[in-house]
Amino acid sequence: MRLVIKEDISKKRVLVRVDYNVPVNENGDIIDNSRIEKSLKTIKFLLENGAQVILISHFGRIKNENDIEKYSLKKVSDELSILLNKKVTFIKERDFELAKEIVYNINDSLILLENTRIYDLYDKMESNCSEELTKFYSELADVYVNDAFGASHRRHASTYGVRKYLPSYYGYLIDEELNNLNCLVDINQRPFTVFMGGAKVEDKLIIIKSLLKKCDYLCLGGGILNSFLKAKGFDIKNSLATKDDSILKELKILLDLYPEKILLSNELTWEDDKILDININDYKKVMENSKLVFINGTPGIFEEIKYQKGTKELFDIVTKTKAKTIIGGGDTASAVKMFNMEGKFSFISSGGGASLEYVAYNKLNALEEIC
Ligand code: ADP
Ligand code: MG
């Protein structure tokens, strides 16, 4: 796939997959509209070239009928309309035939359909990439443009399947992501150091294995560090860590395989019987000597003031070096924002799982040839 150009879309109906999985408060109000803002460049480009734009996106997870209201894209539609100063036609209809009729019969240039995951209520059609849903989406348009970087590691109907039936391209947001992340795909700046923190090691184990083959150092924090410490036989008491013996065994094997690459901090911040943050001292030297640093996940519970020190220190150290510094992951990006350090990193990816998979496997499902 390549970046969309004018000739691909001029005066055509264009189905655009965006990532409007926005953070909301308990009333369902959008608390951060940056995902919507990031979609504007591609939308404006398409509209300026006479395309009719039909937007689709996932939002949250839909497990029952109540979730449909909770995760409706209506509020996103209103916000998009404000940001573009333009009418956005929001289509709630979920029946394939009726929705198609509506789309075919309106001339409005900017349309947003309801959350793609409403179809997960029916045999997980979106997440399982159902043929029926894929066909429905592709019949709405002449051309497909994917600009949902954060969802592009997924083989869903709206990210992966729909390309089977439509000429497919990617938009400006994905283009920017790829251009910035490519230095983590083919590593030509070394030492290359990865900091991996966050909560659950289970989610990231395959990625960790893949990254270990590429990086020079892997510094650990959060629940991931706790799990490795546990695998080593250290008593982490009640700290967050995996309880799965087979995973612990795998972590032990990794520690034996890469004794010099995997760095485990010894300076732990305890509260009662839990490790909630770490001191970054043990990683300082390695970080300072690195030419390329990728950070995914935080060293501690940065959401609480008491346990922000490790995260702040890590960001301080890496942004003071000359290294290229790249952030991946939603919570990690929120931490950067919280400490007002956005301008200090080389690049902050809009994808969590997507940036990790791209860096670990050098590819993304939704951009690969369909099979
Ligand atoms: P991202 O969303 O950037 O991929 P993660 O979700 O993997 O990052 O990691 C960030 C989360 O990890 C934060 O919510 C943070 O509170 C949590 N976390 C970090 N350290 C710990 C710890 N020691 N115990 C429990 N949770 C932790
Ligand atoms: Mg997270």
User: What pTM did the predictor assign?
Assistant: 0.93
pLDDT at 200: 86
Q: What is the mean pLDDT of residues 303-332?
A: 96
Pick the ligand that lies closest to the CA of residue 306.
1
User: For the chain, what percent of residues have pLDDT higher than 90?
Assistant: 94
**Does the beta carbon of 199 lie inside 6 Å of ligand 1?**
yes
Given the CA of residue 356, which atom of ligand 1 is nearest to it?
Answer: 4
**Does the beta carbon of 171 lie inside 6 Å of ligand 1?**
no
330 Cα–ligand 2 center, Å = 6
SS (H, E, C) the chain: CCECCHHHHCCCEEEEECCCCCCECCCCCECCCHHHHHHHHHHHHHHHCCCEEEEECCCCCCCCHHHHHHCCCHHHHHHHHHHHCCCCEEECCCCHHHHHHHHHHCCCCEEEECCHHHHHHCCCCCCCCCHHHHHHHHHCCCEEEECCHHHCCCCCCCCCHHHHCCCEEECHHHHHHHHHHHHHCCCCCCCEEEEECCCCHHHHHHHHHHHHHHCCEEEECHHHHHHHHHHCCCCCCCCCCCCCHHHHHHHHHHHHHCCCCEEECCCEEEECCEEEEECCHHHHHHHHHCCEEEEECCCCCCCCHHHCHHHHHHHHHHHHCCCEEEEECHHHHHHHHHCCCHHHCCEECCCCHHHHHHHHHCCCHHHCCCC
Given the CA of residue 275, which atom of ligand 1 is nearest to it?
Answer: 23
**Does the beta carbon of 351 lie inside 6 Å of ligand 1?**
no
**Does the beta carbon of 271 lie inside 6 Å of ligand 1?**
no
pLDDT at 370: 80
Q: For atom 10 of ligand 1, which residue has the closest CA?
A: 198
pLDDT (tens digit, 9 = 90+) per residue, 197-239?
988 898 899 999 999 999 999 999 999 999 999 999 999 999 9
**Does the beta carbon of 301 lie inside 6 Å of ligand 1?**
yes
**Does the beta carbon of 349 lie inside 6 Å of ligand 1?**
no
Q: What is the mean pLDDT of residues 267-280?
A: 97
